Every structure is written in structure tokens, then in C-alpha cells.
Amino acid sequence: MKLATLKNNTPDGRLVLVSKDLARVADVSHLAPTLQYAIEHWPSLESALQDVDRALNNGSLDTALPFDPSAAAAPLPRTWQWLDGSCFLSHGELMQQAFQLEPIDDMERIPLVYQGAGDDFLGPCDDVVLPGDEYGIDFEGEFGVIVDEVPMGTTAEQALDHVRLITLLNDVSLRALGPREMKTGFGFVQAKPTTSFAAVAVTPDELGDAWRDGRIHLPLNVSWNGEWFGHPHAGAMNFGFHELIAHVAMNRRLSAGTVIGSGTVSNHDRSVGSACISERRAIEMIDFGEIRTGFMRFGDRVRISTTLPDGSELFGAIDQRVVAPPAT
Amino acid sequence: MKLATLKNNTPDGRLVLVSKDLARVADVSHLAPTLQYAIEHWPSLESALQDVDRALNNGSLDTALPFDPSAAAAPLPRTWQWLDGSCFLSHGELMQQAFQLEPIDDMERIPLVYQGAGDDFLGPCDDVVLPGDEYGIDFEGEFGVIVDEVPMGTTAEQALDHVRLITLLNDVSLRALGPREMKTGFGFVQAKPTTSFAAVAVTPDELGDAWRDGRIHLPLNVSWNGEWFGHPHAGAMNFGFHELIAHVAMNRRLSAGTVIGSGTVSNHDRSVGSACISERRAIEMIDFGEIRTGFMRFGDRVRISTTLPDGSELFGAIDQRVVAPPAT
């Protein structure tokens, strides 16, 4: 199933099912008003949602309406907990090599994760409003999972049973503010403003074989102002999502609806490009001894998407601009 | 006004008003079912809540019931965003001196803040369940504020208008896990399990003169297994809450109900003791060249409270044990 949330002037929006071709939506608010509600009540809702989904996809649902991604919020417009990993080792290695950063102990053994702000996610076509474009505005193309309630102490072996949905996101980052916040040891606050999501979150079965080993074996396609930027493959994730979940649930319960991100997708093969600007800059530094690419400026647009092996769009694209605050 | 949330088997509990002497409660769920709702609708609710509060405190409310702190959840049992500062410089200085940590640049000028998990707060008498007591279990006695919606770019001058409530909290920390997480630069995840709150959150006017300069000019009293541990004064906070709010709202909107903590209360005057074990250990290291105090063990109890100058309890006490998970 593909699920999305349409904006309706409430903080949590209105849940809909989206057809596999992303063309039509079915209202399911009589079953579950919001995605948060659906995740909290999944076992009792799943079969009724599947009935609507079948009718939507075989064309027998008279009430289906066209799907407009720009009317979509993030699948979860806000969540009680948002954790983001950095699980592609080639990304960290490039950053360390280019900028002579100290290596992080046990990076191959213990997942790197930061706690983010989940109170205010953006939809796929929403503008990213930032106070200035001098802070090194960057995108980070990532995959993520949305879990139901995960008890404290859940093991990696048990963790995948809690993955309800898979999602695609843009972890917007302000690179000029990151190094200082990292150096304090307290992690990112100002360096990680609000995160954006593709319209559609999908149940794992929508990925077929591409969902295995707790990883999403698909490329993540990024373009910046209409030009190809990269298509790294997410199968290279050093930890599976099951290991990420077990790591963060070691001594805490994860509420239903917790979102966990993979970190920017990155491969050792440089020909596939990157999913964030800072990695391209690191490669330039290594290859040319100088940085040739600037960060995003107001008005710039990033597009992030992924396709299944048959060429079909899975989540719909994140396609958004970064902009200044409206004049007051 | 003093507000509390009684447990009722729903995630957000049921809102009540508490009398100034903490003896009685008035149901206000007909006005606002939850504290989150009350904060989101404060301007339209405030005067109706004040009417009930007046009746509760002058004894004219027939429906008042006795207040049982053990029936209380955290005032906000969960919140969309939880940010915790480290705003008492003497704490950081002691830690740096004792354990030869690298000093943090600009610590006097830029507030240190980490993003925490706000999905699962504990009430004042709830047990803190942790997977083991070998992780250096520590308490941190702190004050915090609960804000209504804070727009991006709110200045320190504007910020105090958004402070709706003041609260007392125990930022439970696992010290064995902190240094590694700090060293990665990604900040705390495993080192900061769920946070506990005193039963009552109060409107700023309840503090009288003790609420000024965006600071809470009151001592924070801590005892551990019934023995005095410290009573440092929170007026020594290096940044006011207005500066903390402006720092975190620099490039993000804060949703109504965001909780912002002061960091463990700490004074340069060592005779007042400490509000966390790790600080006492740092002082022992400096004074004696060795650490003499261990961390909390399962079954240990911490009590955190504060009193107004007239001797009255302001928030009620946090009084809780750390325990192992129930046998399964």
C-alpha cells in the first residue's frame, strides 16, 4: 500500500491511499483520520485498508480522485520522535579524508545516529524557508522507516517486525553551523532545520525484493536545479534498519510513528555522484585540492526520487525550493 | 495557576488544576482535555481556567478532589519537541577540569543545547526502568519552560512572551555512554533515556519575583537515598531562557508544547553541593585525585524539589527509583 497525507489545515492532515501509479487517491479517513492513528492501530486496520487499496488499484473505486503531490504534507506531518543515522561509511570516510577530521571510533560497529526535531516536517513540494542562504544550505537524500511501538530492548532480530512504512526524505542541513555543533559534542540543533518527505510512504511489500536485509536496495536519484547530481545505491548501507532500531531502542521505548533515517546515501563508486553537496565538495577537495561547488542559494531547487527496477516511481519526488522568509 | 496531568490510560492523560498548597485538584477537562490542548488554545482558555483556579483555591469548589502525586504523569506526558541546554557554566568547567576535556569554544556566548526524545516522559513518582545499572546512571536536576508556538527568528527580546509554564525535571543520564556519543559529534541518544518531570507545571506568575531575567531564582534541592546531595541556586544560569529560545528558534519554528531545559543546576560555590552525581565525582577528582562516589544502582531513589522563599513547595517533588525491567 501507498499512503499519503493531504493538507487540511490541521497539524496532522488527512490520510489517503494512493494508487500504485501515483495517479489517484482514495479517502480512508473513515478508517483512520491520520497516519499517526493508522500506525497506532495497524493490526486492526490493515485488512480494511487493503480492501480499499485493491478497489483503488483495480479501478472499481468510484470515489477515487486525482492525486496532486503539491497538496500533500509529509506522510507524518509531525512525529513524536525523529532519529537520523549516518549509515553509509563512504560518506564519512570522504568527509574525514577531505577535511582532515578525526576518525570516529567504532564507526563500522556502532551506528551513528542523531536525535532530530520531528515536530514540523515539510511535504514534497513545500518551500524550505530559512533565515539566510549564507549558512551552507545542503540537501541530503535519504531513505527512512516508520515504526510502530518498539519496546525497550528490542533486538535487531525482532526489529524488522516493527517497520510499518518506508519513506524518502531530504534531511536539509546547514553546513556552516554543523562543525561547531559537532565539536561541542551536543550534536545538531541549528545545523538541522526542518526535514522534508516524499508524499507517499509505502508498506515494505511495495519494494518486493528491493527490501531485504533491512536495507532498501534501490538507487536514490538527485538533481539540483534540473541537473543530475547523483544516483547512489542504498543497498550499500553499512547497517540495516534493524540494527539502527536495536541501537536506539537499547534503553528507550520508541513511540508508534517514530521515524528513523538512513543518513545521506553514498557509494564508494564516485561515478554515481552524491546525494548531498558537501560530499561532492569533499571529493573536489580530494581530487583537485580545492572546492569548486557552492551550496544552495535562495531560489535553488532540489529533486529527490527513486524508481523500482521496472522504472516506476515508488514514492513520488521531493521537488522543492529553498527560499527566504516572506517579507513582513 | 498550577497544572498537572493525571494518568488515564491515554498517552496524553487528563488535565487538572492543582491548588497552590498542592492538596486538591479540580477537573478542567471540560475546558481542555490535555495540557497540549491548553497550550495550543491558551489565549481563549486562560480566563476560564483562572475562574476555576480561584474557586479551587478559595475553597468554594465542591468538586475538588485530593491530589495524589503518584497518580500524576509528566505535565506533558509527551511533547513534539524537547531541547535541553547546559547553561550553568560551573558544571562544564568542573567537568573539563576534572577529566581534562577540551574546552568548548564560545561556551559563554553561545548556549549549549541538545535535542532530546520527548515522546515518552515519566511522571514524578514513576520508576525509571533501565536495561542495566552498569551504565553510570545519574540524575540531573533542572528547571525547564514550556512554550506556545514560537515563530522562526523570534528574538530573545520577544521570547519570554511565549513562556506559558515553568517546570522541574530530572534529565536521567547514562554517563558510561555519554563520552563516546559526544566524541562522534552526533550528540546524545543512548546516553539520554527518558526524562522525568515534577507533577505540577506552573504559570510564571506563581514564582513572583523569583521569575526574572528569564531565569528561575530558586534553589533546586536534591537528595539521594534520603541524604542531602545539593541545593544549587538556579539564578546562576549563564543564559536566560529567552536566550535559549532565541538560539533554538534561529531557523526553526517551535511547536506549541516544546519543552526547553536549563541543564543541570550548578554553582561555583561548592558548599551548596550538586544536582548530578557526575559533578560531585568531578569535584572529588579535583580535590582528592580520585573518584569516591559511585553512580545510582537499581533500587536507588532520587528526590528533586524546590521551595519558594516562604517555604512552600512549588512543583511538588520528583521522587523516583531506578529499577530493572520487569521479569518476563
Task: State whether A114 and B248 contact (CB < 8 Å).
Answer: no
Contact A115 B113 (CB under 8 A): no
Q: Would you state the pLDDT for residue B197?
A: 98
Q: Is the ipTM of this complex over 0.90?
A: yes
Q: Tell me if chain B has a CB within 8 Å of the CB of A251.
A: yes
Work out the mean pLDDT of chain B and round it to a whole number.
96
Give B-chain residues touching A110 at CB under 8 angstroms. Answer: 180
Write out chain B residues lying below 8 Å of A81, CB-based.
117-119
Test the B interface: residue of A186, A192, A244 with most B CBs within 10 Å? A186
Across the range B199-217, mean pLDDT stands at 97
Going by C-alpha positions, the residue among A230, A233, A237, A321 that lies closest to residue A283 is A230
Q: Which CATH architecture has domain B82-323?
A: Alpha-Beta Complex (3.90)
CB contacts of A83 in chain B (<8 Å) are: 189
For B128, the enclosing helix (H) or strand (E) is strand B128-129
- CA of B180 vs chain A CAs: smallest distance (Å): 8
CB contact under 8 A, A190 and B152: no
Residue type (1 letter), B323: V
Average pLDDT over residues A103-114: 91
Ordered DSSP codes for A151-182: -TT--HHHHGGGEEEEEEEE--EETTTHHHHH
**In whole angstroms, how far apart are CA A43 and each of A18, A40, A46, A166?**
20, 9, 6, 17
Residue A302 neighbours by CB distance under 10 Å:
27
Looking at the complex, report in whole angstroms how far the Cα of residue B219 sits from the nearest Cα belonging to chain A.
26
Contact A67, A22 (CB under 8 A): yes
SS3 state at A68: coil
Q: Strand A196-197 to strand B2-6: parallel, antiparallel, or no bridges (unpaired)?
A: unpaired
Spatial CB neighbours of B167, under 8 Å, sequence gap ≥ 6: B75, B143, B144, B145, B146, B197, B198, B201, B202, B259, B315
Spatial contact of A118 and A82, defined as CB atoms under 8 Å apart = yes
pLDDT at A106 over 90: no
| pLDDT of A222 higher than 90 | yes
- Please give the average per-residue pLDDT across A13-34, as a whole number: 98
Q: What pLDDT is attached to residue A60?
A: 95
Calpha distance B298→B317 (Å, rounded): 20
Q: What is the pLDDT of residues B63-103, one digit of tens each?
A: 999 999 999 999 999 999 999 999 999 999 999 999 888 88
CA dihedral B27, B32, B35, B41 (to 10 degrees): -150
Work out the pLDDT band at A184, boundaries 50, 70, 90.
very high
- Positions of CATH 3.90.850.10 in chain B: 82-323
Which residues 255-274 of B have a C-beta within 8 angstroms of A? 255, 258
Q: What is the distance between the alpha carbons of residues A137 and A297, in angstroms, rounded to a whole number?
A: 7
DSSP assigned state of A104: P
Q: Please name the residues between 50 and 109 in chain A that touch chain B, using a CB distance below 8 Å.
A: 78, 80-81, 83, 86, 104-106
Of all residues in chain A, the percent with pLDDT exceeding 70 is 100
Residue type, A158: Q
Residues 99-138 of chain B whose Cβ lies under 8 A from any Cβ of chain A: 104-106, 110, 112-120, 129-131, 135
Q: Which of B112, B115, B247 sits opposite A184 (nearest CB)?
A: B112
**A186/B152 touch (CB, cutoff 8 Å), yes or no:** no
The answer to whether residue B315 scores a pLDDT higher than 90 is yes
Looking at the partner chain, which of B118, B188, B325 has a beta carbon nearest the beta carbon of A80?
B118
- Give me the residues of B, 151-170, that contact A with CB < 8 A: 152-153
B21 touches chain A (CB under 8 A): no
pLDDT at B107 over 90: no
| Mean per-residue pLDDT, A186-194 | 96
Residue A139 has pLDDT above 80, yes or no: yes
For residue B226 the three cell numbers come to: 534520603
**C-alpha angle with apex B44: B38 to B46, nearest 5 degrees?**
65
Residue A220 CA to its chain's centroid (Å): 11
Chain B interface includes A184 (CB < 8 A) = yes
Closest CA relative to residue B260, chosen from B247, B241, B233, B236 = B241
Find the helix packing angle between A89-99 and A277-288, rounded to 10°: 50
Angle at A316 between CA A313 and CA A319, to 5 degrees: 130
Which residues does chain B have within 8 Å of residue A184's beta carbon, measured at their own beta carbons?
104, 112
- Spatial separation of the C-alpha atoms in residues A213 and A137, rounded to whole Å: 33
Whether residue A252 lies within 8 A of chain B, CB to CB, comes out as yes
Chain A residues inside the 8 Å CB shell of B104: 183-185
Q: How far is CA A242 from CA A262, B288, B294, in A?
A: 11, 45, 34
Nearest CB to B117 within list A112, A115, A247? A115
Residue B93 cell numbers, joined: 568547567
CA–CA separation, B272 and B88 (whole Å): 14
